[in-house]
Each structure stands twice: as structure tokens, then as C-alpha cells.
Amino acid sequence: MEAVKLISSLSFLLLLLPLLFSSALADQNRSPFEFINGLKGCHKGNKTKGILELKHYMEKFGYLHYNHSSLHANDEEFDNLLEEAVKTYQQNYHMKATGTLDSETVSQMTKPRCGVPDIINGTNSMRPGRKGNHHRPGSLHTVGHYSFFPNRPRWPSNKYRLTYGFLSGTPNEAIGPVARAFQKWASATHFTFTQVQDYQSADLQIAFERRDHGDGAPFDGPGGTIAHAFAPTRGWFHYDKDERFSVGPTPGAFHLETVALHEIGHLLGLGHSQVPGAIMFPSISPGVSKGLHDDDIQGINALYQ
């Protein structure tokens, strides 16, 4: 009798296994950046499905700006402007600026990342004070670091005691990790952060949102962009509700505290950094936890000196 039970439950499991496995695979393939894998090896002159989507990706993260008189804004041709955009991207990520979608470039581009653009309003790199010089010879050898938003928005000196609140319905598990991330920034700066119950009146407002949620920066489902935040003094920090998050570092899930540490950097006025170990580096890998890096501390000190 027991043996029959065992056999029937085993065969049930065997039936289920391929289903579980294929749904896990489907999850992975659902990353909105997955299409870039199909463009490996592409360069100027190529015309293939996926190039238009890549143009949208490059526009979204600040590398490309077409206007109504641009010839190839809405087609699948890898044009001059896209080549320039890919070169700038490669320089920002310390790769050889070939303009070709080599495997290193594709691998970086498909990583999950913060939704905040690397380049905002034509600042030509993630480094501060470098405008329009992405052709400068030797720029590959310079040491990249932190950046700011255009015009260096920051909190005024009468707003160094900031309050934060969570939109009602925020998962309880997120509250401790976010508080720890604020504590880390508080110990490295002159800011203090206090949680308040009234979300509407808080200086910093934290929420889990999905897809288009009314702030002009829609999320994109599982994978792709996983969180974003706004420059001072807007105060909005959103996690993408469609991602898997975890309290401790867990394979396949994004570490809540690490993501918060990055997004709080934006709330305080930091842009993205070229330093891969910095919390302000744009990509955020699942299962990984990071702390504040010297580069982040130098950046915030330079902004508020």
C-alpha cells in the first residue's frame, strides 16, 4: 500500500518536473533586454530585426536622441548615430569603443539595471564635467567615477533632516532593508532619515509600482529595469513590483537593501558611476549585496561640500 502511494507520488513529481523547469526557463527569457542577444556581432550598416528596439533602449538610457529630421529614427538600420551611441556606451563601461555589438557589450547591455538614464540631457558620459568629448583620444585610460544630475540639484541646507514614508500596501519585508540602507547613508553624510507614517507628507516616498505608474518612467515587467528614483528634491523611489526581491542575498532575487542603497544615492543627488564596485554603478545583479564604496562617499561629499 505504502509502495503504491510512493510510486504514484513519484510519477506525479516526474510529470510535474518538466513543467516547473520550463516555466523557470520562460521566466529567464522574458527579460525585456533578451532581444539584444540576437544582435551579437551587429555593426554600422546592418539591417535586421531588433535594431529599432536597440535604438529605443539606447534612447531610454540617454545615449541616443533622434529628432523628426533623423533619417533612421524608426527603422531597423544600424546608422551612424547608433554607432556613436554604442561607442559612448562602451566608453562608459570601460570597453573598447568599437561601435560593434561584441559579446562583452551585449553581455553588459542585457544585465538588469536601474531605470535612471546614464546620460541625462546630453551630458556625454557618466563622469561629471565632461561634455561632448567622447571622441577625446585616450579617454579610455582616464579613471571614471561618480556623477551628478544636470545642474547638480541637491537638498538645501535647511533640509538635511529628511523624512521617509512607504505607500500603504508596501510589503513589510522591505521596511527593515530600506531603514538599514538609510542608516548607511546617514553614517557617511550629514543627513538624518526618519520614518514617518504619513506617506504624502514625507520628503522621500517609497513605493512598489509596476509597468506604467504615472511618473513618466514605466517599468518593464520581470528583468530589465528593477527600480528607479528621482533627483532632489522630488523624493520618489520606486521598486519594480514585478521583480523577485529578497531580504538576504538570494540567488535569482534582487537584494532589497542593495537596491535601496543605490536609489537613495539618486534621491540625494548622485547620478551613475563608472566604477563597477560603486553602489551607483548602473547594473544590479540578482543574488548580490553591495555596500557604499569610496567613490560613492567622494561623490556625495563633492556634491555637498
Ligand X SMILES: *[C@@H]1O[C@H](CO)[C@@H](O)[C@H](O)[C@H]1NC(C)=O
The cell numbers describing 203, all together, are 520628503
The binder of 149, among ligand X, Zn ion, none, by C-beta within 5 to 8 A per type, is ligand X
Residues 127-166 that bind ligand X (CB under 6 A): 149-150
99 CB burial (10 A radius; 0-12, 13-18, 19+): buried
The binder of 215, among ligand X, Zn ion, none, by C-beta within 5 to 8 A per type, is Zn ion
Q: Rule CB under 6 A: is residue 291 a binding residue for ligand X? A: no
* DSSP string over 142-183: SPP---B-TT-----TT--EEEEEE-TT--GGGHHHHHHHHH
Q: Residue 73 or residue 167: which is nearer to Zn ion going by CB?
A: 167
> Radius of gyration over alpha carbons of the chain, in Å?
22
Q: Is the alpha carbon torsion for 118, 120, 125, 129 positive or negative?
A: negative
The binder of 145, among Zn ion, ligand X, none, by C-beta within 5 to 8 A per type, is none
Q: Residue 79 or residue 296: which is nearer to ligand X going by CB?
A: 79
CA–CA separation, 117 vs 231, rounded Å?
12
The cell numbers describing 69, all together, are 529630421
Helices (H) and strands (E) in the chain, counts: 7, 7
The cell numbers describing 19, all together, are 513543467
User: Which of these segments, 8-16, 44-52, 56-64, 97-105, binds ligand X (CB under 6 A)?
Assistant: 44-52
Which residue's CB comes closest to Zn ion?
114
User: 538576504: which residue's cell?
Assistant: 248
Contact 100, 42 (CB under 8 A): yes
Site string for ligand X, 212-231 (x = CB under 6 A): -------------------x
Q: Rule CB under 6 A: is residue 67 a binding residue for ligand X? A: yes
Determine whether 263 is an active site residue: yes
Q: Rule CB under 6 A: is residue 23 a binding residue for ligand X? A: no
Q: Rule CB under 6 A: is residue 70 a binding residue for ligand X? A: yes
Q: How many residues interact with ligand X (rule CB under 6 A)?
A: 13
The binder of 255, among Zn ion, ligand X, none, by C-beta within 5 to 8 A per type, is none
User: Which of these segments, 21-29, 45-53, 182-190, 253-261, binds ligand X (CB under 6 A)?
Assistant: 45-53
Contact 97, 43 (CB under 8 A): no
Q: Residue 50 or residue 218: which is nearer to ligand X going by CB?
A: 50
CA–CA separation, 68 vs 194, rounded Å?
47
Q: Rule CB under 6 A: is residue 61 a binding residue for ligand X? A: no
Q: Residue 58 or residue 178: which is nearer to ligand X going by CB?
A: 58
The binder of 116, among ligand X, Zn ion, none, by C-beta within 5 to 8 A per type, is Zn ion
CA-nearest of 222, 240, 282 to 34 is: 222
User: 519594480: which residue's cell?
Assistant: 240
Query: Which positions are catalytic?
Result: 263
Q: Which residues bind ligand X (CB under 6 A)?
A: 42, 45-46, 48, 67, 69-70, 81, 120-121, 149-150, 231
